[in-house]
Amino acid sequence: MGLALVCGASGALGEAVVKAFEGRGDEVVALDRARLEMSDPEAVERFWDDIERNGELPRWVVNTVGGFAGGTLAESDDDVVHRMLANNLEAALWTSRAAARRLAPGGAIVNVSARAGVTGGAGSAAYAVAKAGILRLTEVLALELASRRVRVNAVLPALIDTSKNRDTRSPASLENAVPPEQVASVIAFLCSDAASAVSGAAIPVYGWA
């Protein structure tokens, strides 16, 4: 058990992660964009400075901040590309950088990538590129923090069964969607002593898709 920082806590996955940590007795700091713009590196550093001064450094850090936009690269306008990079990759990068400077041995960071980050995503180019960047971020940081015994891993959902996806996708496409609680349980495992030998991993959470 320990203090968990969940970034993106107002989303469906973030809410499930908060419940998973609280359910096993962890204290949770739940962050969303209303409290902190996590794609702003200065704002992120100020937040971490504040919690460090208060002696409240987390043991577990989870980056669930993200967003999806479709479109081929040729079709994507500047705003879409910047938004996908900021909401998916930069938010995880700045939080991971701040955590890397401060976490004690035994701590862990979990980032949320996606299957599109591995397989590519025709029709969702900017999103797929950002999610691929999260995988490289995870691998690099796992190597950099290994000597300090701070672990860094990623989970890769395919399609999560959320109300937003149910509103925008066909019933057939949702047949194999994974409930957010199941993704959250994998994240909670990675943020536990039971996973103390796991770092630099990218865990598929595809369900049967």
127 flagged as catalytic: yes
pLDDT in tens, 6-37: 999 999 999 999 999 999 999 999 999 888 99
- Asked whether the predicted pLDDT for residue 4 surpasses 80, the reply is yes
- Please check whether residue 168 is in contact with residue 153, taking contact to mean a CB–CB distance below 8 angstroms: no
CA 150, distance to chain mean position in Å, is 16
Identify which has the larger pLDDT, 97 or 179.
Answer: 97
Cα–Cα distance measured from residue 186 to residue 71, given in angstroms and rounded to the nearest whole number: 30
Number of H helices, E strands in the chain: 8, 6
Beta strands (DSSP E) in 74-163 are: 108-112, 151-157
Burial of 170 per CB tally in 10 Å (0-12, 13-18, 19+)? exposed
pLDDT in tens, 55-86: 889 999 999 998 887 778 888 889 889 999 99
> Could you give the 3-state DSSP secondary structure of residue 25?
coil
Task: Specify the pLDDT at position 71.
Answer: 78
**Sheet with 3-7, edge to edge strand ranges:** 27-31, 3-7, 60-63, 108-112, 151-157, 202-205
Catalytic residue among 127, 141, 157, 187: 127
Section 189-209 average pLDDT: 94
DSSP characters over 62-88: EE-------B-TTT--HHHHHHHIIII
- Asked whether the predicted pLDDT for residue 107 surpasses 90, the reply is yes
9's tokens: 């806590």
CATH code of the domain made up of 3-205: 3.40.50.720
